[in-house]
Amino acid sequence: MDYVYGPGRNHLFVPGPVNIPEPVIRAMNRNNEDYRAPAIPALTKTLLEDVKKLFKTTTGTPFIIPTTGTGAWESALTNTLSPGDTIVSFLIGQFSLLWIDQQQRLKFKVDVIESEWGQGANLDELASKLAADRTHTIKAVCIVHNETATGVTNNLAAVRKLLDDYNHPALLLVDGVSSICALDFRMDEWGIDVALTGSQKALSMPTGMGFICASPKALEASKTAQSARVFFDWNDYLKFYKIGTYWPYTPSIQMLYGLRAALDLIFEEGLDNVIARHSRLGKATRLAVEAWGLKNCTQKEEWHSDTVTAVVVPPYIDSSEIVRRAWKRYNLSLGLGLNKVAGKVFRIGHLGNLNELQLLGCLSGVEMVLKDVGYPVKLGSGVAAAATYLQNSTPMIPSRI
């Protein structure tokens, strides 16, 4: 068994699941309750109202479903589309690949636009497809906002502009699993029809809650969608919304209280401040990578992610060994390279309830691991680059002095 007890806390820097703040852990430390009693519907009502704020929507309808991002994907697709419908879907990394696999297994006709891993969505090709689709056979465009495998963030406003320029009625479905509540996300302004995320990412909760928000246009599409759905059926939720009990089946009471605590932390900091904090930590991480003499997997600055950085290693180093050694020797958890970039990159997650000193500790650990595997890194170089930037940039939180 390849397990060695490491003293001290595990330093969790994968791009999800992330560290859970103590107030959330304490909020979940409670007994079960009757979810039909008045307290839980009252709590749920406030949670649904506040979840909408994360998506920056006033017109969307939120759903909280006990599932992971994969289940949220399925809910988004099956509630709005029918088998045989044509979807345009972008393939830019492992998670967009998995969503495309799901789309195909659900019997949709998927027109894949593929880019080299490390690049963003090819919007020129989307424009060509929209221009040629005069009969509007394309029913949806599906895009991953932030591709966790490669650290690539896509421009959603540009996708919406293309749909509007060609006056195309296709639904816009967005995976925001590793972006919502960490990156700039504007559901109403960008005309997104279905957006989704998961509790274990920027919300800094345990895995187990999928959050979906549907526009009025998406809800209208759900009335005629013919895909089979039971557990993920929005209509079941909407029926219970109307009668004020909210839950078509038993929710996790503990997770609901954890969500309340997580939202309180986010709103206390301010959502825009949370997004700015992620921007600073992302920039600091990229500066560290540059100081180490390594390259970012993301090929253009416009695609850089502020929630995860995929670091390309030299050909003589197996990035999987970096991840293994970091965990075994330093109790530091980094992300593996996946699929096409397996062995070629390791990933540093910098999202969720995270501060400057935590990030600098991670970067220090990465430097020691790089030294261990034979990479000629100058110890302290990346930490110094990141710390200098963080010290001289706008503080993420007001001073407590």
Annotated binding site for substrate: 347
* Structural contact between residues 72 and 65, judged by C-beta atoms closer than 8 angstroms: yes
- CA–CA distance from 125 to each of 130, 136, 156 (Å)? 9, 16, 15
Q: Quick one: which of 78, 159, 80, 176 has its CA closest to 121? A: 159
Q: What is the distance between the alpha carbons of residues 210 and 172, in angstroms, rounded to a whole number? A: 18
The set of residues, in sequence order, having a beta carbon less than 8 Å from that of 12 and lying 6+ positions away, is: 18, 19, 333, 349
Chain centre to alpha carbon of residue 323 = 21
Q: Quick one: which of 53, 59, 51 has its CA closest to 192? A: 59
Helical residues (DSSP H) of 182-252, grouped into ranges: 216-222, 234-243
* Structural contact between residues 317 and 192, judged by C-beta atoms closer than 8 angstroms: no
Q: What is the distance between the alpha carbons of residues 323 and 310, in angstroms, rounded to a whole number? A: 12
- Compute how many other C-beta atoms are within 10 angstroms of the C-beta atom of residue 175: 28
In this structure, are strands 345-349 and 308-312 parallel, antiparallel, or unpaired?
antiparallel
φ and ψ at residue 192, rounded to 5 degrees = -85, 135
DSSP output for 101-131: HHHHHTT-EEEEEE--BTB---HHHHHHHHH
Helical residues (DSSP H) of 166-270, grouped into ranges: 216-222, 234-243, 253-269
**Residue 345: beta bridge partners?**
312
Q: State both tokens at 31.
A: 């007994």
Numbered residues of the known binding site: 347
